[in-house]
């Protein structure tokens, strides 16, 4: 099922922030991503000491923690699912540098009326918390547009 979820992600290679899903079930998901040194945003953020932008960290948590889980939760209902983020509240605790791998863990808070809300956290390879918070979104099947 993990490979099927990855195949259904609606992102192109330049905006895909999921390398691998380690675990997925109806209550949550865990996945990884490595920020390679050649990603284009590092050139300007910041030019003398590149750091992964907070918006990219948030997007990574949303792709793994919300979109992958949403695809899993709707696997028996619809094959074409989109997710629109509706809210997030993230605390950023440590920087993420080029070349670092992160692990995102998401725990479902609720899923009702096609709205999914999750508690998410991101840890670096040393197991240190990078950021944490909550992300919510609406799951939209292509047939409901």
Question: Which domain CATH number covers 118?
Answer: 3.10.129.10
C-alpha torsion angle, residues 50, 127, 130, 120 (rounded to 10): 130
Q: Which residues are catalytic?
A: 45
Is residue 115 within 8 Å of residue 67, measured between CB atoms? Answer: no
Domain count, the chain: 1
Whether 140 has a pLDDT exceeding 50, the answer reads: yes
Q: Which residue has the higher pLDDT, 35 or 76?
A: 35
Range with the poorest average pLDDT among 28-37, 40-49, 87-96, 115-124? 40-49
Can you give the residue range of the structural domain that contains 51?
Answer: 2-144
Q: How far apart are CA 98 and CA 52, in angstroms?
A: 7
Q: Give the tens place of pLDDT for each residue, 111-139.
A: 998 899 999 999 999 999 999 999 999 98
Per 3-state DSSP, the chain is made up of helix, strand and coil in percentages (nearest 5) of: 25, 40, 35
Which residues, including other chains, have CB under 8 Å from residue 55's CB and lie 6 or more apart? Answer: none
Q: What is the pTM of this model?
A: 0.93
* Residue ranges of E strands in 93-143: 101-112, 115-124, 129-141
Q: How far apart are CA 25 and CA 29, in angstroms?
A: 6
Q: Give the tens place of pLDDT for each residue, 62-79.
A: 999 999 999 999 887 756
């Amino acid at each position: 099922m993990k490979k099927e979820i990855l195949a259904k992600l609606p992102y192109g290679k330049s905006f895909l922030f999921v390398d691998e899903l380690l675990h997925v079930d109806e209550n949550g998901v865990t996945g990884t991503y490595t920020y390679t040194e050649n990603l284009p945003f590092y050139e300007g953020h910041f030019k003398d000491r590149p750091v992964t932008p907070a918006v990219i960290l948030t997007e990574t948590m949303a792709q793994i923690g919300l979109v992958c889980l949403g695809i899993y939760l709707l696997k028996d209902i619809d094959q074409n699912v989109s997710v629109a983020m509706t809210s997030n509240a993230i605390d950023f605790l440590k920087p993420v540098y080029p070349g670092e791998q992160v692990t995102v863990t998401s725990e479902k808070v609720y899923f009702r009326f096609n709205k999914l809300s999750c508690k998410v956290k991101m840890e670096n390879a040393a197991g240190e918390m990078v950021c944490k918070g909550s992300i919510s979104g609406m799951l939209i099947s292509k047939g409901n547009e």
